[in-house]
Structure 1
């Protein structure tokens, strides 16, 4: 019997935020305590504990609508990897999704995509995570505040389903900024190691790039953005401005597409949220 066969999958609660944060921090992910609290209060989060009761693996199913849900926070602490725990947890998420009757989506690292493909996930769009460590400091007028209703409308058009509760949560966090200049709209929020820009909506690449440039000029620390790879002019403009590519992500879907989005955004809310 494998050493993990007798480890039970359990559903986690808010009291597990510190344990989850420890695993995602070990993996050098950008999630912070607010992210974990949101998942543990709004999603179905599964976990596995070691014999000493320490949390060693997690996976979450976040229902966004009656038809679509996101799988994320698939994490295994280093000393317990490659023993099948991630596959077991994803299977548990898929079983829950089947009971709910929802289509599942996720954003996978290259290693994760190799695992999810055999489970029946099919690739859709690709993402590129980029980082800017030293934004240029420029003194200028503050960016105008954007409207939450506009953000929700743009997001529904891009995703094909309503994520209002998520966007309200992210925009309402301490330190978050929802900014607009009339041609583009973007959300900026805190992460564990860097501020995250996204989603970003605009009517053309030039306006999206100007928005990101203006945000970067008003920030003092490192920044992350998860750009949609098919927005080639946008990604090229970011790299020319000093952003460096950290890693790719592959968006994948399990089941048939029940909804269809229009033109994708220039950047997404993050691989944990879609």
Structure 2
């Protein structure tokens, strides 16, 4: 591995949103430029440049209750195997340590093999699923639900407050908060597919009914990051034609914080928790 200690780690600003999008697009991720602005407005994003080109990033997104999410760990293909990702994750961990925050992340299997030796502890597992759709929507959108109802359910599940994040999502063109039969979810635009999550329900049948209602009202591909322990929900999705794209392992660095009162059926995304 090439020594890179002389390459400075810098903190990025809002003006770097478009450059960040170039990196996540190269990796075939679903983030939009608006997602990057969330990290740059609400969090701390570290980066490395090669001349004027942004070649690597990692973000720390603080939440309430002494929690923070690490994500957007990206290195352009020509600059990999130089230790950039490790340096940037270390910068995020140091920023979290100074603020007294427990750090969380959702890792791919390859990422989990790297983060484990750094001191991250596995917690729950996720499964990313995709539904391919084309053509006209078959039904109208389900009933709209108030943002406060989603934020309250999210607080109960996460154990901490993410009102700022969910509000940023809800305010975007194309975003909808919808509910039916006691289930509630947010659906928003992504770069290549719409994304459902977070999604909360009293049971798997209600969660599946809401997903079906959403899917019938959409006319393009949809992604969803399901909690793997929700077995009946996962089974129902695959029976309905959703395909599992990849697993994620949720991991924690630091002491455990307040636990949520319920387990969601789908999360806001591996980049947001």
CA distance in 2, matches of 1:150, 1:87: 39
Alignment partner, residue 79 of structure 1: 78
Which residue number in structure 1 is paired with residue 40 of structure 2? 40
User: Which runs of structure 1 show a deviation greater than 6 angstroms over 4 or more consecutive aligned residues?
Assistant: none
Give yes or no for contact 1:57–1:74 (8 Å, CA) kept in 2. Answer: yes
Between 191-200 and 258-267, the greater mean CA deviation after superposition: 258-267
Partner of 1:144: 143
Matches within 5 A, 1:100-111: 100-111=99-110
In 1: Cα distance, 2:6 partner to 2:192 partner: 35
1:31, 1:198 → 2: CA distance? 14
Q: Which residue of 2 aligns with 1:237?
A: 236
**TM-score (structure 2 length as normaliser):** 0.97
Superposed, 1:194-273 pairs within 5 Å as 194-273=193-272
Give the Cα–Cα distance (whole angstroms) in 1 for the partners of residues 169 and 121 of structure 2.
28
Query: For residues 139 and 236 of structure 1, what CA distance do their matches in structure 2 show?
Result: 23
Given that residues 141 and 214 in structure 2 are in contact (C-alpha distance below 8 angstroms), is that contact kept between their aligned partners in structure 1? no
Residue 5 of structure 2 corresponds to which residue in structure 1?
Answer: 5
CA distance in 2 between partners of 1:4 and 1:56 (Å)? 13
Distance 1:157 1:41 in 2: 25
The 1:133–1:115 alpha-carbon spacing in structure 2 relative to 1, beyond 3 Å, is: same
Secondary structure, aligned partner of 1:7? coil
Segments of 5+ residues of structure 2 without an aligned counterpart are none
2: CA distance between counterparts of 1:80 and 1:133?
A: 33
Q: Who is 1:30 aligned against?
A: 30
1:15 corresponding residue in structure 2: 15
| Aligned 1:120-135 pairs, distance under 5 A | 120-134=119-133
TM superposition score normalised by structure 1: 0.97
**Do the aligned partners of 1:135 and 1:216 also contact (CA within 8 Å) in 2?**
no
Q: How many angstroms apart in 1 are the aligned matches of 2:77 and 2:110?
A: 14
Q: Deviations over 1:106-163 (max 9, x none)?
A: 1111111111101100000000000011268554343111111111111111111001
- Matching residue of 1:69: 68
Q: Distance in 2 between matches of 1:230 and 1:140?
A: 30
How many residue pairs end up in the alignment?
273
